[in-house]
Structure 1
Amino acid sequence: MKNSRSLRIILVAIAILAAHTKSHSQQVAITWDDLPAHSALPQGETRVEIGHKLIAAMKAAHMPPVYGFVNGVQLEREPASSPMLKDWRDAGFLLGNHTWSHMNLNTSPLADWEADLLKNEPILQQYAGNTDWHWLRYPFLAEGDTPEKRADTRKVLAAHGYKIASVTMSFGDYMWNEPYARCIAKNDTATIAQLETTYLESASTDADFRRAMAKSLFGHDIPYVLLMHVGAFDARMLPRLLKLYRDMGFTFVTLQDAENDPFYASAIDPSLPDQPDSLEGAMQARGLAFPPRPKSSLDVNTVCR
């Protein structure tokens, strides 16, 4: 009887430890900005083909449903890109609001920004249907240049039923897309190989940087929300990027699951008191020293000029 009771205690302890470990495991929700068209378009590619590559890579990796954040103005600028949104939805992925014109809240009146937010909604209603498209990704991650404007913006979002798609992981993937288009035009395969290497290096070192901040703040990982962009180079690199994250120990979760973590409470409900929704903001708020910030070994802005 005593041995049986001891065994039960051990099994309960193991279960508690396993649950604790799982809750603090390395999880990341991948999100995509600027649908249906981002950055320079390399020769010989279309926006729809870029979308197909992204979708195929995520399907091959058995990704959960991911969010893509839409700028409706791109449908006016590049009408041929519109099938990308339908393909995205047909694949089971989700859409959210990135404002109509990618308006910068920090440099625009709030009333204009709110109008731009709402102008995007018919596009979301058309393509997202009855899925939950009331998620906002701030363009430029600009949440208001004063505390008062930030607070007023949160009231607007709460009134319209929006949740905020925070960003707690980002390695600046967008910076590789224009250089890639230039290198394609020059058929510079050697430099493209450099772009590939530094892209993956930056993703890896940035993940370590974010994890170090989380450990300083909480003593453990939180579920991270990764910001990506629907560019041509991102599409080229996505299979390798997903493998990199898996090799680093990450599992992929939905945006909703990631933001169920208490860190994101004020992003999920903008009517709550404002709290930092980035790791950098939380570090600054607590006066903690930042870990060394990674820097790419290649200045991508200078290549293939």
Structure 2
Amino acid sequence: MRGIVLRGAIFAGILVGWAGTALAQEPQLAFTWDDLPAHSALAANTTRVEIGRKIVAAMKAGGLPPAYGFVNGVQLEHEPLSEPMLREWRAAGFPLGNHAYTHMNLNQRSLEDWEADVLKNEPVLEKYAAGSDWHWMRYPYLAEGNTAEKSAGARKFLLAHGYKVADVTMSFGDYMYNEPYARCVAKNDAASIAKLEESYLKMADAQIDYSRAAAKATWGREIPYVLLMHVGAMDAEMLPRLIDLYKKHGFTFVTLQEAEKDPAYAADLDLSLPEPVRKPSGPLPPYPREDFDVNGVCK
């Protein structure tokens, strides 16, 4: 994971600077969504298209601006019936970006293989996101290269192809909940679903406090946060409550482009700049952990 939340491992470093900038009047948050058009196990009570519709409807009902969805084109091979999800996402005015064709992990593969996977995804984006700015890269697994040479090579490649990096500065592991949720739906286990829902909101709440503390320890101020989400069945079901949670914390909502205008993201927009090395200048609270065994539910 990258940015304030994680980067390969938790806080593999941090950009120094911007500490003297004035605090924002209220915290800002940009939703972003990974793994379109199909993420994780599909609950029996829904479809991929319905998941997309729920996400779009909840964001619009909450007064949020359009959010980027990052695409893995291979899912159109695996689940052809998910294809209308991309069309409807765009018809709703929501943009798309590149998440590599097969969600390839750069840390585990060669740079050449990863570059080919990114390029293989471009015809999908040209088809479904024509006329919009789809040259935003969300690194799969937020893996930006496990060597300095690979990381620099990826940035050089993305720069040459006109990309900007969609950073992540808030995340709460929402992806962990979608497979257990699908199992519990299949068993009609309402009690376990309720426990999953409670844990989901608890972790989102804890990550708000952690990410804001990390930002202040790093930059001496709030930054506009970029939230990582996934297009899973439980995410779609929980989204209205999740949006309410962020509102209760005083967040207003911005687009990815608006968030990354902040100087904290300068090296993500201009890949000719050195890759940021970020290190907090002060102590951080303990990283949020959930005692509840999410993965073991409904097995």
Task: Answer whether TM exceeds 0.5 for this pair.
Answer: yes
Q: Give 1:43 shift.
A: 1.0
Residue type at the aligned position of 2:76:
L
Structure 1 residue 290: Cα displacement: 2.8
Q: Which residue of 2 aligns with 1:171?
A: 172
Q: Could you tell me whether the CA contact under 8 Å between 2:86 and 2:128 is conserved in 1?
A: yes
Q: Which has the higher contact order (CA 8 A, sep 6+)?
A: 2
Q: Greater Rg, structure 1 or structure 2? A: 1
Q: For 1:219 and 1:209, locate their aligned partners in 2 and report how far apart those are by CA, in whole Å.
A: 14
Kindly state the Cα deviation for residue 220 of structure 1 after the two structures are TM-superposed: 1.6
The CA deviation string for residues 20-58 of structure 1, in whole angstroms up to 9 with x for no partner, is 55x452001000000000000011311001111111101
Whether contact under 8 Å (1:24, 1:220) holds in the other structure is no
1:290 aligned to which of 263, 284, 291: 284
The aligned runs of 1:293-304 (5 Å cut-off) are 293-304=287-298
Question: 1:71 — aligned with what?
Answer: 72
The amino acid across from 2:108 in the alignment is: T
CA–CA separation in structure 2 for the residues paired with 1:213 and 1:228: 19
Alpha-carbon distance in structure 2 between the residues aligned to 1:272 and 1:220: 23
Q: Deviations over 1:250-302 (max 9, x none)?
A: 111000110011111001111111114xxxxx23xx56433211112311011
Q: Provide closer, same or farther for how the CA distance between residues 288 and 148 of structure 1 changes in structure 2, counting only shifts above 3 A.
A: farther
Q: TM-score, normalised by structure 2?
A: 0.91
* Paired position in structure 1 for 2:18: none
CA separation in 2, counterparts of 1:155 and 1:25? 35
> Size of the alignment, in residue pairs?
279
Q: Counterparts in 2 of 1:151-300, with a 5 A limit? A: 151-276=152-277, 282-283=278-279, 286=280, 288-300=282-294
Q: Which runs of 4+ in 1 moved over 3 A?
A: 286-289
CA contact (8 A) 2:218 2:281 kept: no
Question: Within 2, Cα distance between the matches of 1:287 and 1:92?
Answer: 40
Gaps (5+ residues) in structure 1? 1-18, 277-281
Corresponding residue for residue 10 of structure 2: none
Query: Is the 8 Å Cα contact of residues 198 and 297 (structure 1) preserved in structure 2?
Result: no
How far does the alpha carbon of each residue in 1:128-154 deviate from its partner, in whole angstroms, 9 at most, with x for none?
A: 111100000000000000111101110
**SS at 1:154's partner residue?**
helix
Q: CA deviation at 1:95?
A: 0.1
- Equivalent position SS for 1:54: helix
Distance 2:139 2:282 in 1: 25
Paired with 1:110 and 1:24, the residues of 2 have a C-alpha distance of 42
- Taking the aligned partners of 1:203 and 1:220, their CA distance within structure 2 comes to 21
Q: Secondary structure at the match of 1:220?
A: coil
More helix by share: 1
SS at match of 2:235: helix
Mapped to 2, the partners of 1:180 and 1:120 lie a distance apart of 29
Alpha-carbon separation, structure 1, partners of 2:148 and 2:237: 40
RMSD: 1.3
Distance 1:275 1:221, change over 3 A: same
- Structure 1 length normalisation: TM-score? 0.89
Q: Aligned with 2:192: secondary structure?
A: helix
Question: Counterpart in 1 of 2:141?
Answer: 140
SS of equivalent residue, structure 1 residue 107? coil
Between the aligned partners of 2:158 and 2:32, the Cα distance in structure 1 is 20
Q: Are the counterparts in 2 of residues 70 and 100 from structure 1 also a CA contact under 8 Å?
A: yes
Question: In 1, are the aligned partners of 2:45 and 2:185 still within 8 Å (CA)?
Answer: no
**Structure 2: gaps spanning 5 or more residues:** 1-20
Q: What is the distance in 2 between the residues matched to 1:117 and 1:143?
A: 13
Are the counterparts in 2 of residues 24 and 222 from structure 1 also a CA contact under 8 Å?
no
Distance 2:25 2:116 in 1: 39
The SS at the match of 2:264 is helix
Q: Indicate conservation of the 8 Å contact 1:24/1:221, yes or no.
A: no
Task: Report Cα offsets for 1:50-90 as digits up to 9, x if no partner.
Answer: 11111110110121121000000000000000000000001
SS of aligned partner of 1:302: coil
**Cα distance in 2 for residues equivalent to 1:218 and 1:275:** 13
- 1:198-244 Cα offsets, whole Å, 9 max, x none, are 10110010010000111112222100000000000000000000010
Q: How much identity, in percent, do the aligned residues show?
A: 63
Measured in 1, the distance between the counterparts of 2:162 and 2:191 equals 49
